[in-house]
Structure 1
Amino acid sequence: MLTKIFGSAVFGVEATTITVEVNVAVGVGYHLVGLPDNAIKESNYRIAAALQNNGYKIPGKKITINMAPADLRKEGSAYDLTLAVGILAASGQIKSDSIANYIIMGELSLDGSLQPIKGALPIAFRACEEGFTKFILPEQNAREAAVVEGIEVYGVRNIKEVIAHFDGKEVLQRTIVDHQEEFYSKLDMPEHDFADVKGQESIKRCMEIAAAGGHNIILIGPPGSGKTMLAKRLPSILPPMTLNEAVETTKIHSVAGRTDNSGLMVRRPFRSPHHTISDVALVGGGTYPQPGEISLSHNGVLFLDELPEFKRSVLEVMRQPLEDREVTISRAKFTVTYPSSFMLVASMNPSPGGYFNDPDAPVTSSPAEMQRYLGKISGPLLDRIDIHIEVTPVPFEKLSDSRRGEGSAEIRKRVTAARELQSQRFRETRNTHYNAQMSTRQIREFCALDDASLNLLKNAMERLNLSARAYDRILKVARTIADLDQAANISGNHISEAIQYRSLDRDGWLA
């Protein structure tokens, strides 16, 4: 008897429906074809034990299983439940009248219980697009998949529940998630708050500007000055994610198996990899490509602490994703693309010893040592960071002040208002959503200066020996400062403030 049952394979952040054809005929043998990997080839042992421990068995006949399309490689243990139900249906041990309406996925334990799978959300989207009406998967992934409207999601704990459902002995309970309510109920719950930061008003201002324009930022200062503390609070002042952004972000984390059965992700991700990370772990890849840290920080923040300690090769592979906002991983037989639109926040000490060229510091370094240390960061990478700011230690008077500073909620209101202006400005442009993404042509169009501001910028570049690459960056940041002021045009004050945020471009900064 031949039975067709449906599963799904995930490539990148998209899914492809897999048709599993199970044929039970006279003879002996178990044949699994269709480019399965080792995890799928071993599934017959897990299936046999799971069925035996629940009162069923693999029939002693010739079983041929084809996973179509046969030229597409399938990987992972998530097809265990698909294959087990197909075998039971083809051998007549369960009814299979309505089985064609279902996508079925899940990894089996030897006792028949189900383990969570990766990629439940993109699988649910694809199933809905292709007209499937029902999706059976492990209970741990049910809330994630239930975000998709138009498909009934059933979370199960054991294969017995699936068998009883098809035999009509038990009705599975549908998982229903009001994703609109869940999304909006969690928007204003920042984990960290800027109100906890003592002093550092100028740095907080920088972070506000960076958040408002989506600018990459680097913090330079000695140990204990608050660089990491400030960076961790940046997501709390970024504009709330839209529903589309939340779905995009959740899909990436679903593919990586990091959703934790929480439904939609509504907080912007904050990723902080250690400096020993490899280039593959950062950008994604591997034998079976998985998203890297820059994709997991999509629509959020990627924080690289102690930037010069990262291997140069690791930092250099970020250059293309910072420009294109996506990562393409190519293999001989396929190519996958992961989105990677993130804000880069980096921090570093100004020298190997960690302190500025201060004779009273515990550890001092010569200007040559400091320059050599900074030289570990390439010019092209530094060119993609709009804001450079020096962070100085907080004095005792500020640390001991019991008054709370301005909270993240107040700052976020100003940031959100500035982002709304940018959304209107770039509404006709497909790939530009905020100021940091402006092209040269857009800079000329939206960052026009009057004569006084132009002269100010010219004098500053000449007197401070600013590099040519600083010109566009200053204009972008000035446009964001003007947006925070709700100003239609860039003024001299906006240019003056933006010039302050190019520390590393100043000739003789370390002299």
Structure 2
Amino acid sequence: MSARSYTVAFEGVDAHLVEVQCAITPGMPAFSIVGLPDKAVSEARERIRAAMNALAIALPSKRITVNLSPADLPKEGSHFDLPIAIALLAVLDIIPKDAAETTLALGELSLDGTLIPVTGALPAAMTAARENRRLLCPAASGPEAAWVGATEVIAPLGLTEALRHFTGQTPISPSQPGEVIKDDSLKDLRDVKSQYRAKRALEIAAAGRHHLLLIGTPGSGKSMLAARMPSILPPLTPEEALETSMIHSIAGLLDQGGISRARPFREPHHTASMPAIVGGGRRAQPGEISLAHNGVLFMDEFPEFTRNVLETLRQPIETGRVLVSRANAHVSYPCKFSLIAAANPCRCGFMYDPAQACARVPVCGKEYLDRISGPLMDRLDLRPEVPPVEFQDLDRPADGETSATVAARVARALVFQSKRFAGAGDIRTNADLQGKQLEEVATPDAEGRELMLMAAEKFNITTRGYHRILRISRTIADLDESPEVLGPHVAEALSYRIVRENE
């Protein structure tokens, strides 16, 4: 007597198919789960016993063995409860075996048989669609899984409803996708008085997914500027929304199965640990840089983050992926984000104000910003200073551009890039340009090349810095709707690179 059902084991955003084999054989009564289960999976047998008892189903006084295949793949999480229960009901001939075999299930069982929502319903639905199976999941997870659209999603409230569905007594209608969540918290860029240069840098960063470092005295508006970045970014494309939502599904951040088209905006505190920023923990969960995929990562008080955290940002910034390596897991997450870092010019923050600066100026400023290593600083494309706002400017009515006006220019620039990079694989914005493609689309005219050569010799610009200036110049040209990168575009790009002594 044997039967099987199917579920998934998560490895990052990838959901690997797992075959749940259940056999009942003569012998001493026992209930064993094998196939490299963790503690939560091993405890499933007690939850299943109680749930079966609540349904008035008596388990036979024989040996019940459940094998999770492939046996060498680690199985973690409580979502194995439901597929094990489905395989057990099939081997007892309570539900048809063919129905169990054509179903991919995930869900946690409570002791009374109701189903508790679990994380990862969206990537599980992707695997179910790929394997041409229906998905069985808790009712609360159904709207999230239904966004895939390529597979039938059955979402019962409990094991009783699932049993009645499989036996044809009370069929359950397929779940419908959850609502698109509207973000009504966007703040207008016009609220920021003065700071026209910093606003322009913010616009360039949004138009090309460049990384931005804002340096200024306390209260100059750095956090206000960063908080308004989402208001000038276009909505996520359907492909980007699915990518981002899969990561948020693994992290359990999707609310009521709804998917947001707004770009993520993550702002971790400077006391956050390395696993919180990069990813990790017991199940190698995604960190803040992955949760900010296709969006913005704002790191205020940038030099106050620990050195280990700052240095681990270098490779993800360059490659757009992060590898979380642990003793029992090696998981890769996407993390293409726009980094906005904010820092004071020195520890006290008033290096540029003679009336308030300490006696250690300018040594204190150099020591403070030296917490940001040269290689990391080289990866920050735009580095405008954010000076204090004059009091007379605070009394004036807002006269800058609204977020809607800036967002329209950013959207047009991104349309140019999407057309330019159509069919170019992972390249979506100017920040992704590398090698030959960078030379083809971002090589400036004669005036721009001469300016770049002079700047490289005078300021000792690194090769990485040179390529980043080319990318910024290409973005500025896109904002100007110019097919070529001209000298003024290169000049503006160079003006946003703050020169440090160690560069």
Shorter-chain TM range is over 0.9
> Residues 497 and 57 from structure 1, CA distance in 2 versus in 1: closer, same or farther, beyond 3 angstroms?
same
The CA distance in 2 between the partners of 1:362 and 1:435, in whole Å, is 40
- Matched with 1:112 is 113
Q: Specify whether residues 49 and 499 from structure 1 end up closer, same or farther in structure 2 by C-alpha distance, changes over 3 A only.
A: same
Report the AA paired with residue 474 of structure 2: R
Equivalent residue, structure 2, for 1:4: 4
1:226 CA drift (Å): 1.3
CA shift at 1:341, angstroms? 0.9
Give matches, 1:414-433, under 5 Å. 414-427=409-422, 429-433=424-428
- Contact 2:214/2:384 (8 A) holds in 1: yes
Conserved? CA contact 1:357–1:367, under 8 Å: no
Structure 1 residue 395 displacement after superposition: 2.5
- Residue equivalent to 1:157: 157
Name the structure 2 match of 1:72. 73
SS at match of 2:244: helix
1:321 maps onto 2:322 in alignment: no
Deviates more, 1:319-328 or 1:254-263: 254-263
Shift of 1:427: 3.3
The structure 1 residue matched to 2:433, chosen from 438, 441, 445, is 438
Letter in 2 for 1:41: S
Distance 1:224 1:164, change over 3 A: same
Match for 1:157: what amino acid? L
What is the alpha-carbon distance in structure 1 between the residues aligned to residue 51 and residue 358 of structure 2?
63
Deviation at 1:457, TM superposition (A): 4.3
1:259 maps onto 2:254 in alignment: yes
Long gaps (5+) in structure 1: none
State the alpha-carbon separation in 2 of the partners of residues 200 and 446 from structure 1. 31
Counterpart in 2 of 1:300?
295
What CA deviation, in whole Å up to 9, does each residue of 1:108-130 have, x standing for no partner? 12222222111111111111111
Question: Does residue 104 of structure 2 align to residue 103 of structure 1?
Answer: yes
Shift of 1:101: 1.9
Give 1:418 deviation, angstroms. Answer: 0.9
Q: Distance in 2 between matches of 1:402 and 1:56?
A: 73
Q: Distance in 1 between matches of 2:300 and 2:230?
A: 16
Give, in whole Å, the separation in 1 of the partners of 2:381 and 2:419.
22
Aligned with 2:77: secondary structure?
coil
**1:411 is paired with a residue of what secondary structure?**
helix
- The 5 Å alignment of 1:26-425 reads 26-27=26-27, 28-132=29-133, 134-177=134-177, 186=182, 191-330=186-325, 335-361=330-356, 365-403=360-398, 405-425=400-420
> What amino acid sits opposite 1:498 in the alignment?
A
Q: Distance in 2 between matches of 1:439 and 1:402?
A: 44
Contact preservation (8 Å) 1:223, 1:349 = yes
Aligned length: 501
1:168 shift after superposition: 2.7
Counterpart check, 1:447 vs 2:442? yes
Does the aligned pair in 2 maintain the 1:194–1:407 contact within 8 Å?
Answer: yes
Give the superposition deviation at 1:506.
Answer: 5.1
Counterparts in 2 of 1:333 and 1:310: CA distance versus 1, 3 Å: closer
What is the TM-score of this pair, normalised by structure 1? 0.91
Task: Say if 1:326 and 1:338, in contact at 8 Å, map to a contact too.
Answer: yes
- Name the CA distance, whole Å, in 1 between partners of 2:347 and 2:6: 57
What is the alpha-carbon distance in structure 2 between the residues aligned to residue 380 and residue 427 of structure 1? 31
Q: Which moved more, 1:353-362 or 1:298-307?
A: 353-362
The alignment partner of 1:156 has SS state of coil
- Post-superposition shift, 1:462? 6.2
SS, match of residue 375 in structure 2: helix
Q: Kindly tell me: are residues 199 and 121 of structure 1, through their superposed partners in 2, closer, same or farther at Cα, counting changes over 3 Å?
A: same
Q: Which AA in structure 1 matches 2:101?
A: A
Pick closer, same or farther for the CA change 1:154–1:397 going to 2, 3 Å: farther
| Mapped contact 2:374–2:502 kept (Cα < 8 A) | no
Further displaced range: 134-143 or 402-411: 402-411
Equivalent residue number for residue 17 of structure 2: 17
The Cα RMSD (Å) is 2.5
Q: Secondary structure at the match of 2:293?
A: coil
Provide the C-alpha distance between the structure 2 equivalents of 1:429 and 1:94, rounded to a whole number of angstroms.
49
Deviation at 1:507, TM superposition (A): 5.0
Residue 72 of structure 1 aligns to a residue whose secondary structure is: coil
**In structure 2, how many angstroms separate the alpha carbons of the residues matched to 1:364 and 1:418?**
46
Residue 466 of structure 1 and its aligned partner are, at CA, apart by: 5.8
**Cα distance in 2 for residues equivalent to 1:384 and 1:21:** 50
Equivalent AA in structure 1 for residue 240 of structure 2: E
Q: Distance in 1 between matches of 2:345 and 2:285?
A: 35
Structure 1 pair 357–426 and aligned structure 2 pair: CA distance change class (3 A)? same
In the TM superposition, residue 170 of structure 1 has moved relative to its aligned partner by 1.7
Residue 189 of structure 1 deviates from its aligned partner by 5.4
What is the CA distance between 1:493 and its match in structure 2?
2.4
4+ aligned runs moved over 6 Å, structure 1: none
CA distance in 2, matches of 1:174, 1:68: 28
Flag the 1:399–1:130 CA change in 2: closer, same or farther, 3 A: same
Deviates more, 1:204-213 or 1:403-412: 403-412
**Shift in Å, 1:190:** 6.0
Kindly indicate whether the alpha-carbon contact (under 8 Å) linking 1:145 and 1:263 is maintained by their aligned counterparts in 2. Answer: no
SS in structure 1 opposite 2:79?
coil
Instruction: Report if aligned partners of 1:275, 1:309 keep a CA contact under 8 Å in 2.
Output: yes
